[in-house]
Every structure is written in structure tokens, then in C-alpha cells.
Amino acid sequence: MEYYDVIIVGGGPAGLAAGIYSARAKMKTLLIEKGLIGGQAATTSEIENYPGFPESVGGPELCELMEKQAKKFNIDIRTEEFKNLSISDKLKLVETSKGTYQASAVILAMGAEPKKLGVKGEDEFRGAGVSYCATCDGFFYNGKKVMVVGGGDTAVEEALFLTKFAEKVFVVHRRDQLRATKILQERAFSNKKIEIIWNSVVKRIEGSNKVERVVMENVKTKQEKTVEVDGVFMAIGYTPTSDAIKKIINTDEAGYVITDEEMRTNIRGVYAVGDIRKKPLRQVITAVSDGAVAAVSASKYVEELKNV
Ligand code: NAP
């Protein structure tokens, strides 16, 4: 069984930053990512609050730079799906779709996935008009009408991004106030292509073989309203990707991993970083910070083990 000092599970900004710090500390480091390097950040069209990029930076571009930097320090990056984590004395066993690895320390950086709304038509039309990523799919809606569900930063950013393609963007929000930060709200309010449908929830998505219309209900008047759209983008928040580790790692009720300030979980030598972690602000800047802290802490732990 192959041994690594540190195994990082997840290749978003948190995992990549952990990789850079771990490899620079001369730890033999493996990073496992099942899909796209960069995770959610790589599906964000523009990041304008990450310091060092006064003109903003594309999510894919920023993640590519992080990956390049990590590789410069010789970490192994493998495309494999994480399956299970178990503990065998002081060693951690990381099982993936391709095999099992041993490590002294493991850094969990699996992030979070977009939440499903749970309405009729959502699964049926997924990929046929229902999407969870405007950056990935917005391009298909040139000159069309789309809807974004949600009222947070993601929903407003996605709506603004979609105005580059669509002729009309409806934002459906269940309250009469957006949750998104003020600067994004102002941009949405002043964009003529965006229309916000307040106090409303989606009841069902309809169409023959692709999305054609959305039926909504006003939560105050209980009146139904149908809007014809070609696409629906769900942006109602995220769920942590912690199912595979929940049985041994402590999480809160929502599934976010509980850590201390050194990113240590309840198991010695296992750390959690980025969006999977219980914390007040989930952004690229806090993700990379978590990664750095965890990698330094993990390196000390690995050295201690070697000196026992
Ligand atoms: P969020 O802040 O949790 O907002 C989710 C939105 O969806 C809320 O407006 C919520 O309504 C609504 N919602 C939740 N469940 C719903 C349901 N079942 N039906 C209808 N509406 C529902 O999630 P997010 O916008 O994805 O943001 C997640 C985190 O990432 C936040 O910390 C955010 O600040 C951060 N983020 C930051 C940026 C940036 O800085 N540029 C960009 C994207 C995301 P209520 O408001 O009524 O609860």
C-alpha cells in the first residue's frame, strides 16, 4: 500500500493551498480530486474579492495558477473518487475508486455541493434546462429567458452573469429582501434585464422534453403565477460533501465538519478545510487560509510521529 505523509482529499482552493504548504514543508503529499481541479471556484466566472487581482480574476484562471504552483512543489495530484476514511492505529487509510493509500495525516477538503430545491420537474429536466451552474451552462441561453432561484450572493452573481447571454433574467426569491451583499444587490437592481419576483417559491417546472415554464406561488397571497422560461438555475445554497466521513468525523446538524482553530477534527491527524468546515465565511480567501493552517499543523503532527 502506498504511503504518503499527507493526503489531501479535494482539489479546490483549500486543498490546493494545503498542498502548496504541505509540499513546501517537505511532506510527501498526495492530492485526490474526483473531477475538476479548482472545485466550485473553477466554475465561478469572475472573482473580484481575492486580493492581488485589482481587475478581478477568472475562477478557472486562478485555480489553474494554484494548481501550477502546487505542482511546482512536487505534489502528486490524482483523479480518483474518495470513498472512505478509516483509522488503523496511527495510520489513516484513504480508500478511493482506484485503491487504498496510507497516510499519517489527512486533510479533508471536499467542499460543498449545490442544494436541490426538491420540486417537481427538477430532476426530470436536469441538463435539459435545469442547471446548478450559470458559468457552466449560461452560454446555452443566448437571447433566451431564464430564471434564477434564490436570493443570496450566488443567485445574484449568477443572475448578473446570465445577463451576458439571456435577454431576460427572472430572480425568484421567497422573501421581500435579498440576502446578497449590498454591492451585488445594487448591480442587480440597476440591471434592466433582471426582474426580481419577490415573496415567491417555485412549485413545479414544466415542459415537454425541456424546460418551458415555471409555476410559482406567492407565499403571501397564495396566488399561482406561470412564467415562460428556457432555463432554471438553482442557487439556494450548498450542502457539505461530508456523507462519506460522517460516521467517524464530528459534524454539526447540517453536516459541516467541526474543527478547532488549527483545523483539527475529533480524530488526531485528520483536518478539515474550506467549504466542508463549519465556519462563518465560505470564500476562496478563507479556504486558502484554512488550507495553509491545516498543512502547517499536519506537518508538525507528522514530524512528531516520526520522532516517536
Ligand atoms: P446562501 O447565502 O445560503 O443563500 C441561499 C439563498 O437561497 C437565500 O436567499 C435563501 O433564502 C434561498 N433559499 C434557501 N433555501 C431555499 C428554498 N428551499 N427555497 C427557496 N429559496 C431558498 O447561499 P449562497 O448564495 O449560495 O452563498 C453561500 C455562501 O457563499 C455565502 O456565505 C455567500 O456569501 C458566499 N458567496 C460569496 C460570493 C461573493 O463574495 N462574491 C459569491 C457567491 C457565494 P433566505 O434569504 O430567505 O434564507
Known catalytic residues are: 133, 136-137
Quote the ligand 1 centre to 285 CA distance (angstroms): 18
108: DSSP letter: E
Name all domains of the chain by residue range, CATH numbers in brackets: 3-113+238-306 (3.50.50.60), 116-234 (3.50.50.60)
pLDDT in tens, 261-304: 999 999 999 999 999 999 999 999 999 999 999 999 999 999 99
The answer for residues whose C-beta is within 8 angstroms of residue 247's C-beta and 6 or more apart is none
**How many Å separate Cα 230 from the centre of its chain?**
25
Task: Give the per-residue pLDDT at 114.
Answer: 93
Burial class for 241, CB neighbours closer than 10 Å (0-12, 13-18, 19+)? buried
Residue 288 Cα, ligand 1 centroid: separation in angstroms? Answer: 21
Q: For a ligand 1 pocket test, name from 179, 203, 220, 275 the mutation site with the most ligand atoms within 8 angstroms of its C-beta.
A: 179
Cα–Cα nearest to 241, from 139, 114, 130, 122: 114
Predicted confidence at residue 43, as pLDDT, reads: 85
CA–centroid distance, residue 180 to ligand 1 (Å): 7
Structure confidence at residue 109 (pLDDT)? 98
Among protein residues, the one with the nearest Cα to ligand 1's atom 15 is 236
Task: Give the chain's mean pLDDT.
Answer: 96
pLDDT digits 0-9 by tens, 59-71: 999 999 999 999 9
Q: What is the mean pLDDT of residues 202-220?
A: 97
Given a contact cutoff of 8 angstroms between Cβ atoms, the answer to whether 234 and 130 are in contact is yes
Instruction: Name the H helices within 113-181.
Output: 134-137, 153-162
Q: Is 218 left (phi over 0), alpha (psi -120 to 50) or beta?
A: beta
